[in-house]
Amino acid sequence: MEITVLCPFELDSGLLSKTVSIGQGAPVRVLVPSRDAAAAVDYGAKYIHTVDDLGPDETAIAACLEEFIRKTDSKILLAPATVQMRGILPQLAYRLRAGLTADCTELALENGKLLQVRPAFGSSLMATILTKSPIQMATVRPGCFPAVKQPCSDPVIVKERFSSPHERVTCQGYRPFEDQLPLHQAEIMIAGGLGVGSKAGFEKLHRLATLLGGTVAASRSAVDAGFAPYSCQVGMTGTCVSPQIYLAFGISGAVQHLAGISGSKTIIAINSDPKAPIFDYADYGIVGDWETVVHKLLEELS
C-alpha cells in the first residue's frame, strides 16, 4: 500500500527512511520543498512532489494539503511532529474525516493497517493504535528513526502549484532561538542528568560540546531542576534523538529517557553508580565522577 510523507517545510530523512522500510517495496510519495528533492530521492522516495512558499497561515496550508491528498488519493499519511505540523495535521485530519495519532515513536504496517506506537498514561506504557477511518494519519517525533540512504533508481519529480485560499495570518518576523544545532539534527550529543548537579555543571558540558562539534542535551530531571532549558530535553517527554555518539553524564537511565535515545548509534555512559540502569543499555560505560571525566576530555581536546 502506498504511503505519503508530508514534509512541506523540511524533509525528515529519518521518517522517510522508516517509511520506505515498512512499505515492503510499495512506492513512497513525499511532499517536500524544492531544495530537498534530491535528498528525498537519496532516502528512497519514488514520487517526489515539491512545493515552496506555503505561507504562515496553518488553516490555508491545511487546505492546500487537503487538495494534494484528494488528488493523489493517499490513504496513509505520515508527517513529522514539528511545531508547524502539529498545528496543521489536526486541521487536515478534520477536513479528511480521518483518524490521527500524534507523537508516534514507532511505526509498522500489517495487512494494510498502520500500527502507530506512542507513549500513554504519562509515558508509563507504550500503546499501539489502529485507525478505523479509510485514511490513516500519524505524526512522528523527529529523531526517532535514523536516516538510511537507499536511493530510488527511477524517481518521478513533480512541481506542485496549489490554489491560494484566503489567508488570515501574516508573518511579521521570524528569529530562531536555538544557540546550537537542533537536537534531532545533532550527530554528537553531550547529555547531562540530575547527577551533573547545577547550571555550572552544564556550562562545562557546553564547553565540551563546542570542542567536539556537538549539541548539549538534558534528561527530564535535569530540566525540572532548572539546570537546562526544555529545548534541551531528550526522552519520551522531550525530543527523540538518533546521533552517531551519545555521551551521557550523570544520567541514571529512566525508561522514558532510554526510549528517547534508542536511535543512537553509540551510547557512552558516565555515572558514579555502577548499578545505574543506563549501563545495561550503553555500548561503553565509565564508573566514576562525571566532572573528572569531563575535565580530562577538556584537557585532551584543548
Q: Which of 181, 101, 109, 91 is nearest to 143 (CA)?
A: 181
- Do 145 and 207 lie in a common domain? no
- Do 45 and 189 lie in a common domain? no
The model's confidence at residue 124, banded by pLDDT at 50, 70 and 90, is low
Q: What is the domain range of residue 46?
A: 3-159
Please determine, for residue 177, whether its predicted confidence score (pLDDT) is greater than 60.
no
The C-alpha atoms of residue 152 and residue 254 are separated, in whole angstroms, by: 39
In a domain, 178, yes or no: no
- Give the angle subtended at the CA of 30 by the CAs of 137 and 177, to the nearest 5°: 80
Q: Which of 53-62, 79-88, 101-110, 117-126 has the lowest average pLDDT? A: 117-126
Mean pLDDT computed over 136-153: 90
- Do 125 and 257 lie in a common domain? no
Please determine, for residue 168, whether its predicted confidence score (pLDDT) is greater than 80.
no
The model's confidence at residue 260, banded by pLDDT at 50, 70 and 90, is confident
CATH code, domain with 155: 3.40.50.620
Q: What percent of the chain has pLDDT over 70?
A: 94
| pLDDT (0 to 100) of residue 55 | 81
The C-alpha atoms of residue 288 and residue 34 are separated, in whole angstroms, by: 49
Considering its fold, how many domains does the chain have in total? 2
- Do 154 and 190 lie in a common domain? no
| pLDDT (0 to 100) of residue 112 | 85
- Give the angle subtended at the CA of 256 by the CAs of 255 and 258, to the nearest 5°: 65
| pLDDT (0 to 100) of residue 24 | 79
CATH code, domain with 246: 3.40.50.1220
In a domain, 176, yes or no: no
- Do 111 and 223 lie in a common domain? no
Q: What percent of the chain has pLDDT over 90?
A: 68
| pLDDT (0 to 100) of residue 176 | 59
| Residue 132 burial (CB count, 10 A) | 7
Mean pLDDT computed over 260-275: 92
